[in-house]
Structure 1
Amino acid sequence: MNQCKVMNDGYLEKRSNGLLQLWKKKRCVLSDEGLRLYGCKGDSGKEMRFEQMTTLDCVEYKRGLVYFTIVMNDGKEVDFRCQQEGTAWNAEIALALVRFKNRVAVQTGRNRHLSHLGSCGEGDVEL
């Protein structure tokens, strides 16, 4: 995601996978290709690419926080939360995911159309 368009940069809390499932604050960078998560210690970050995501689910509002889940293609669920005021991370991620999937669908449709035209021989005209 090095040369991708950055759409949002800020902080979310991610629920850990451990036994206690603690909430850990992560710096997140949303781009047109996915979401990159950085720990507070300035690590290299974990990349969650849109091509690996299925959907964004379970938007819930409780005590000034927004809770949401990103579902990955392998069925893994990643839980996040953020402040309800002044942020719309869940909506921004969902819209970026839809834009990405639409872009892929359009490209797939074009490729099918072009391969169909090539196999039908419509480009070859005899005089």
Structure 2
Amino acid sequence: MLKTIAELIAEAQSTVNGINAQEASMKCSELNGILIDVRETSESAQQEVKGAIPIPRGVLEMKMLNLYPDEKQAIFVHCASGVRACLAAEQLVRLGYENVWAITCKIDAVRAANHH
């Protein structure tokens, strides 16, 4: 039986750590973490987030394993609305990363929290 997008997102949200943009900014600094922008390249170019590493969701697994081989690396994932971030965080956990958070806020909040 096929699942709806809402069901898929609900499942992902139940298995990943959700965090708001302000808390993510502070925790990322404390843990020497990385902020990953999983939006498409054109979206990232239109609304940059200071300090974010652009890795589109479509190539996330392949890029992350090469760029960040430490499973203990603190990773904070954001997108435009929190949906792709949640799905991407779920995939990173499936890959074996142990410290992953999905930023559940909209892009404006992420940009405001990372303006410094």
Same fold (TM over 0.5): no
Select the structure that is richer in strand: 1
Range into which the TM-score falls when normalised by the shorter chain: under 0.3
Higher relative contact order (CA 8 A, sep 6+): 2
TM-score, length-scaled by structure 1: 0.25
